[in-house]
Structure 1
Amino acid sequence: MAARPPPPSPPPARLSGARSSRAGRGAAVHAVSSEAAGLGGAAREGVLDPGYIPWPGGEGSGAQRGPGGSAPAPLLSAPAGAERLQGLSVEEVVVTRMQLLEEELSSLKEELALCQADKEFVWTLWKRLQVTNPDVTHTVSLIVEREKQKTEAKDRKVLEILQVKDAKIQELEQRESGLKRDINDLIKRKIAVDEENALLRKEFGDLQKKFKDKRQEVKDSKECIQNKEEQNRLIIKDLEEENQKLSTRCVDLLNDLERLRKQEAHWKKEKYSIDAKIKTFENNLMEARKEIEVSQSKYNALSLQLTNKQTELIQKDMDITLVRKELQELQNLYKQNSAHTAQQAELIQQLQVLNMDTQKVLRNQEDVHTAESISYQKVCFYSVIKM
């Protein structure tokens, strides 16, 4: 059995391209890691300037963007949230940049793992194709299976992205419903506030009206106060004049008082004589009281006799009243009998007149009957004669 020749080297173009791509990605990963480490050290030292944020440059070397120098073409594009770094503090910038670099590092690691898997798969296929009788069908099936796995991986990623988006959509819908509820609550509060504002406007109008009324009342009060002050001035003037008159009157009264004091001295002298007369009158009064007591006893006896006489007189008055009542009843009975007798006499007279009328009617009827009987007899006689 002949010895199998050594496998030829892979195509230089494809291998060099794959190696350069892998080398570039490895350099990018190394650059991102070194940049993250540098940012962490700068953040710990606190000397990082937000204007000089390092960005990964070409060939895996880290380049800085300065205010004056031009940055080389970056291997990785600036993150989408780089604009949000403006206006933040140093710590916030560092934290945000670290998060972006970690996300980019994880994506680069995933791409590197995929590239390594592609490399191993291509190398396996190349080995299978270098044999004497390569199984092309199996190779094609492996390629199809590999593409199918890639498609499934992409589909899983798309499904995960869609699930994340669905979760975000649900969250946004929940936020939307919450915002709608908040809007409805705000509308209700606005309506309540509008009603309250209307009430406050009405109250403000009422208060303005009351203020106008109060201002008018104050104005009227001021006018009244001015009028009262004018009246008070006139009254004070009158009182001053009256005070002068009273002063004059006081002087006159003092003169009268002096005169009355003199009269009092004179009256005191007369009082002694009057007291003597009063004692005499008191003695006379005692005698008069004794006489009054005697007269009072006589008066009591006479009053008792008068009471007895009045009792007898009252009894006699009662008897007279009874007699008068009986007399009144007899008079009433007499009047009733007289009226009854007059009625009976009148009735008798009416009966007599009626009897006379009845006799006249009977007589007239007898005459009429007699005349009728005579005429009837004549008729009968004439009828008999004719027969």
Structure 2
Amino acid sequence: MDFGKTSSFDGELGRLKADNQTLSEELAQCQADKEFVWSLWKRLQVANPDITQAVGLVMQREKEKNELKDRKVLEILQHKDDKLNDLERALDQHNKDVLGVTTEKVNFQRTIEKLESENFDLVKEKAHLLEKLSELTEKNNDSASRQAIRELDQTNLESKQKIQKLESQIERLQMDKNDLSSMRETQTERIKNLESDVDTIATNYNKVNSEVTSHNHRGIQF
């Protein structure tokens, strides 16, 4: 699975949903503003319009709009904080997973080295036994020699079986080692994607925070 493409697709889908939500909210706000202006205009068409009341309505309307914007900004900031926390937790977990995979790889490597050492010792032992067998074969064929030869043959057979077993274990461990290397590369790619998401969230967070500060300054001037 290409985690990079999946993450990019999910991110783009999330942005499109957010844009759609923003446009819907702006449309609703425009409709509400239109209705308010129309209502205010009708109030001013009477013979003696109450200007003080009209101004009060305008100020109340602006206050409500500012409060709505403040709530929206706070919700956005809270969502960004939650998203950052989720990404940080996911990143920490992936780092732990990578550390675990690395530890397992080291342990497998040590096991392989140990088995290879044992295999080397058995090969040497086999060579030594074959040498002794050859020496005994050259001697007389009395009963004691034949018994010794049979014992050496049996020992040689057992050594051969041990070597085959160790070679099979080494092959399996080597395959596991390759699987761990592939898993580690996948985890590393996922971590890079998460770090990129964290950077993007942090950038958006700073942008929203700047907008809040600018909005608060305009509110004070008003």
**TM-score above 0.5:** no
Larger radius of gyration: 1
More helix per residue: 1 or 2? 2
Q: TM-score, normalised by structure 2?
A: 0.45
